[in-house]
Structure 1
Amino acid sequence: MAHMGRIIFHIDMNSFYASVEQAHDPSLKGKPLAIAGNPKERRGILVTCSYEARAHGIYTTMTVHEALRKCPELLLLPPDFPKYREASKKMFTILRSYTDLVEPVSIDEGYMDVTLLCQEQHALTIAKEIQSRILQELDLPCSIGIAPNKFLAKTASDMKKPMGITVLRIRDVAHMLWPREVITMHGIGASTAKKLNAQGILTIGDLAQADDYKLKQLLGKNGERLRARANGMDERVVDPNAIFDTKSVGNSTTLPEDIADIRQLQKVMKGLCKKVAERLEAKRLAGFTVSIQIRDANWQNHSRSKTVSNAMYQAEDILAIAFALLERHWDETPVRLLGVTVSNVTDRKEYSQQLSIFNFEEHSKDEPILKVVDEIEERFGKGAITRGVDIGKRPSYQSQTSFSKDFLDDHDV
């Protein structure tokens, strides 16, 4: 098979933000530490926590209030993104000193294709050296998964933390992965797991052996993809440029207090849609799918989406769909967090709106111009006249989410 010989690493930094703080201030080492969005407000959620904090039952997304109740000696720090960005940049510089085939996934994880390197050195030797260098040079721990593809490498890096190195081969899948509950598989969230469980698919092994047609009916193309992954198959290549492909633009907010008033929620949603539209405009993108995310007072997450035939990028169009989804699917349980995302995005320069009986009129005004263009090209040759060039916009704050602002710029190499 074409890709059976590949050797892929997944490098996953352990408790990254907390580890960076401990590296900068050694007095924090060995102590329960957490990074919180805003420790003083109700919306204070733990972004990450040290392994010392985890030993007390503290975990990411726990509220500050709950975390302090469990561990009164917990040290809380606000995030310092410039510091984390710098550490991330240095980490990826180390990875790229081995190969150009490095694909950043987020600020603290990435893939490497080390197939060629492994012709001269054993994969374990390379992984140990990378892990040791990151620890010695940056004082940061990481785990590394080694596998023939990205899915298995990602799964392997999760198996031993902190400072683990795990090899996961396709022949290991049946005894190492199949007995696990399907919710534990990378790429499966609570909603998908619930659907699978309802069909009697409880373990990864059940998914691996499930009927293709049944899965496609249940989950669409994603069902086929997940079944392949459950069998250890993944054909995705390590692509250094993949991180620059915007797949969605979204915005969410944790509310200062639980809200059960539809008018208040509409007001919040209007603000979210405005920010999403600003980012779409700045990136010159439009999207076909609008999704809403609701986290209720009981910490239950609900998401609903709608796909339309014509791509959109204006706030009022996004709001119309988002609010309709809220009205239709919200069960009036008080809302803690609200989010809006536009996905299935496309470059607006390359997108040509589908003509229909409803929008033909607005396009028909171009017809006289197009006739003139045809006449000029007939006389002087194809390409003699072109439409104006879209020079785009200068980068703005709106075009950069916190992720791109603090992270993507460092990979423009």
Structure 2
Amino acid sequence: MAKARIILHVDMNSFYASVEQAYNPELKGKAIAIAGNPKERRGIIVTSSYEARAKGIYTTMSVGEALRKLPELILLPPDFQKYRTASKAMFSILRSYTNLIEPVSIDEGYLDISEISDERHPLEIAKEIQMRIYRELDLPCSIGIAPNKFLAKTASDMKKPMGITVLRKRDVPEKLWPLPVINMHGVGESTAKKLAAIKVETIGDLAHIDELIIKKALGKNGERLKRRANGEDTREVDPNAIYQTKSVGNSTTLPFDETDIDVLEKTFLKLSEKVAERLDAKKLCGTTISIQIRDADWHNHSKSKTFQNPIHEKNRIYEEALELFHKSWDGVPIRLLGITVSNVLERRQSAEQLSLFNFEQFAKQEPIYNIIDEIEKKFGKGAIQKGIEINKKSYASKTSFSKDFFEDLKDR
């Protein structure tokens, strides 16, 4: 009989705000919020302390609205390097228990403690981890304990701050099924609307829905969500997941609700530059480009296009994004724009598919490839490469809103 897995999900509480309070004890017990430039509408609340949340401050609230609601609110700009340092320290503590750790963002990760749970009770381990992070880093966290990743993630959300929750599969009917389906991890507003259209209002409804109906409505994702609603999740805790970048993107909130096409096109150009820089920093390319549009009424729209050959150049990203934009924009005022390149892979692993349009180019290069093959047979794979890679220092991808902090955790 296979040994039951025991998974922890460690989720830092109000991470950015808690880090600021840890660095400056005078901020403890006070309502603080992390925001962008308060002079422009980019000043949207990124996160806030629990003291601020108790007084009605929430993420995505504009700075102006937050200050009207709570004039004594202390606003701080984000300090990404400070948060990265705290994140590294937190994961260092987790790594002292097991190497089976999968970071999923700057402030949360999974641990598989199945092997060490023979020696100590999982609840004891979780309590020790929580107290060490609090004593050594002065940071609060919540921890979920469960037999799989989905239930562990769900459990860590149940008690905040400084909570520890055990969620077993047998607890699912009582603790999860009565909840609205929007409360389920992996279900956003768009998916919730599609589920409502087929009369799925609770997690229990999702757990019991006919497989053909859910598959027709949501495809494979619907089947996956139905399994999760029944507490089933076979995903392993994968330490190598930090090496697997799936997408690279960038978005920006405009200072005003914008309809000027020149301003919008210039915004897309800046976003294309940033995405291209980040792809270049990671030596990646991707086969799908998507744009995100959020209008003045906070309605989100997206459009994407997939290519036969991967892209990474700024001009190509800009041209394709602009084409998608012109096809989808109906003239409404725009609040936010974003570009994402997904289905990414390392450039050295990408190979263009031969077509009627590029066959001649490849035919000219064929003698070169034959020489490369001969050299690699003699000296080994990778002995010669197309082009020269220069590891130039770049800060293009160092943003807290991406998963670029994973670079801090690799090869340790």
TM-score under structure 2 length normalisation? 0.92
Q: Distance in 2 between matches of 1:299 and 1:36?
A: 19
1:262 lines up with 2:261 in the alignment: yes
Q: Distance in 1 between matches of 2:292 and 2:263?
A: 16
Q: Structure 1 residues 352 and 70, CA, compared in 2 at 3 Å: closer, same or farther?
A: same
- The aligned residue for residue 49 of structure 1 is 48
Given that 1:287 and 1:344 are in contact with CA atoms closer than 8 Å, whether structure 2 keeps it comes out as: yes
Structure 1 residue 206, shift from structure 2 partner: 2.2
2:385 pairs, out of 376, 382, 389, with 389
- The aligned residue for residue 162 of structure 1 is 161
- The aligned residue for residue 334 of structure 1 is 333
Given that 2:41 and 2:253 are in contact with CA atoms closer than 8 Å, whether structure 1 keeps it comes out as: no
Q: How does 1:93-108 map to 2 (within 5 A)?
A: 93-108=92-107
Amino acid at match of 1:138: L
Q: How many residues align?
A: 408
> Quick one: percent identity of the two aligned structures?
63
Structure 1 residue 398, shift from structure 2 partner: 5.5
Structure 1 residue 44, shift from structure 2 partner: 0.4
Given that 1:253 and 1:339 are in contact with CA atoms closer than 8 Å, whether structure 2 keeps it comes out as: yes
Residues 10-57 of structure 1 show CA distances to partners (whole Å, capped at 9, x for unaligned) of 111111111122222222222111111222322101111011111111
The DSSP-based 3-state class of the residue aligned with 1:389 is: coil
Q: Distance in 1 between matches of 2:211 and 2:286?
A: 29
The DSSP-based 3-state class of the residue aligned with 2:332 is: coil
Amino acid at match of 1:388: I
Amino acid at match of 1:408: F
Q: Structure 1 residues 373 and 5, CA, compared in 2 at 3 Å: closer, same or farther?
A: closer
Structure 1 residue 300, shift from structure 2 partner: 2.4
Structure 1 residue 83, shift from structure 2 partner: 2.2
Q: Structure 1 residues 371 and 410, CA, compared in 2 at 3 Å: closer, same or farther?
A: closer
Structure 1 range deviating more: 291-300 or 81-90: 81-90
Residues 252-282 of structure 1 show CA distances to partners (whole Å, capped at 9, x for unaligned) of 1111211112332122112211221222233
Structure 1 residue 112, shift from structure 2 partner: 0.8
Q: How does 1:3-402 map to 2 (within 5 A)?
A: 5-369=4-368, 383=378, 388-390=384-386, 392-397=389-394, 400-402=397-399
Q: Structure 1 residues 364 and 169, CA, compared in 2 at 3 Å: closer, same or farther?
A: same
Q: Distance in 1 between matches of 2:124 and 2:95?
A: 17
RMSD: 2.4
Residues 331-385 of structure 1 show CA distances to partners (whole Å, capped at 9, x for unaligned) of 32211111000001111211222222233222222334456778x69xxx95579
Q: Structure 1 residues 322 and 214, CA, compared in 2 at 3 Å: closer, same or farther?
A: farther
- The aligned residue for residue 405 of structure 2 is 407
Amino acid at match of 1:410: D
Q: Distance in 1 between matches of 2:360 and 2:194?
A: 44
The DSSP-based 3-state class of the residue aligned with 1:304 is: strand
Structure 1 residue 401, shift from structure 2 partner: 3.3
Amino acid at match of 2:391: R
Q: Distance in 2 between matches of 1:139 and 1:223?
A: 41
The DSSP-based 3-state class of the residue aligned with 2:280 is: helix
Q: Distance in 1 between matches of 2:343 and 2:283?
A: 14
Given that 2:45 and 2:61 are in contact with CA atoms closer than 8 Å, whether structure 1 keeps it comes out as: yes
Q: Distance in 2 between matches of 1:239 and 1:339?
A: 29
Given that 1:102 and 1:110 are in contact with CA atoms closer than 8 Å, whether structure 2 keeps it comes out as: yes
Residues 46-82 of structure 1 show CA distances to partners (whole Å, capped at 9, x for unaligned) of 1110111111111111111011111111111112222
Structure 1 residue 121, shift from structure 2 partner: 1.0
Structure 1 range deviating more: 397-406 or 164-173: 397-406
Q: Structure 1 residues 399 and 25, CA, compared in 2 at 3 Å: closer, same or farther?
A: closer
Structure 1 residue 144, shift from structure 2 partner: 0.3
Given that 2:181 and 2:200 are in contact with CA atoms closer than 8 Å, whether structure 1 keeps it comes out as: yes
Structure 1 residue 305, shift from structure 2 partner: 1.9
The DSSP-based 3-state class of the residue aligned with 2:158 is: coil
Given that 1:145 and 1:158 are in contact with CA atoms closer than 8 Å, whether structure 2 keeps it comes out as: yes
The unaligned stretches of length 5 or more in structure 1 are none
The DSSP-based 3-state class of the residue aligned with 2:257 is: strand
Q: Distance in 2 between matches of 1:223 and 1:36?
A: 36
Structure 1 range deviating more: 212-221 or 271-280: 212-221
Residues 317-339 of structure 1 show CA distances to partners (whole Å, capped at 9, x for unaligned) of 22233222222222322111110
Structure 1 range deviating more: 225-234 or 163-172: 225-234
Given that 2:106 and 2:403 are in contact with CA atoms closer than 8 Å, whether structure 1 keeps it comes out as: no
Q: Structure 1 residues 21 and 371, CA, compared in 2 at 3 Å: closer, same or farther?
A: closer
Q: Structure 1 residues 220 and 308, CA, compared in 2 at 3 Å: closer, same or farther?
A: farther
Stretches of 4+ aligned residues off by more than 6 angstroms: 371-374, 384-387
Given that 1:82 and 1:406 are in contact with CA atoms closer than 8 Å, whether structure 2 keeps it comes out as: no
Structure 1 residue 405, shift from structure 2 partner: 9.1
Q: Structure 1 residues 382 and 90, CA, compared in 2 at 3 Å: closer, same or farther?
A: closer
Q: Structure 1 residues 175 and 307, CA, compared in 2 at 3 Å: closer, same or farther?
A: farther
Q: Distance in 1 between matches of 2:309 and 2:85?
A: 41
Amino acid at match of 2:82: K
Structure 1 range deviating more: 390-399 or 329-338: 390-399
The DSSP-based 3-state class of the residue aligned with 1:407 is: helix
Structure 1 residue 160, shift from structure 2 partner: 0.6
Q: Distance in 2 between matches of 1:203 and 1:89?
A: 38
TM-score under structure 1 length normalisation? 0.91
Q: Distance in 2 between matches of 1:195 and 1:133?
A: 43
Q: Distance in 2 between matches of 1:372 and 1:83?
A: 49
Q: Distance in 2 between matches of 1:360 and 1:214?
A: 45
The unaligned stretches of length 5 or more in structure 2 are none
Q: Structure 1 residues 77 and 336, CA, compared in 2 at 3 Å: closer, same or farther?
A: same
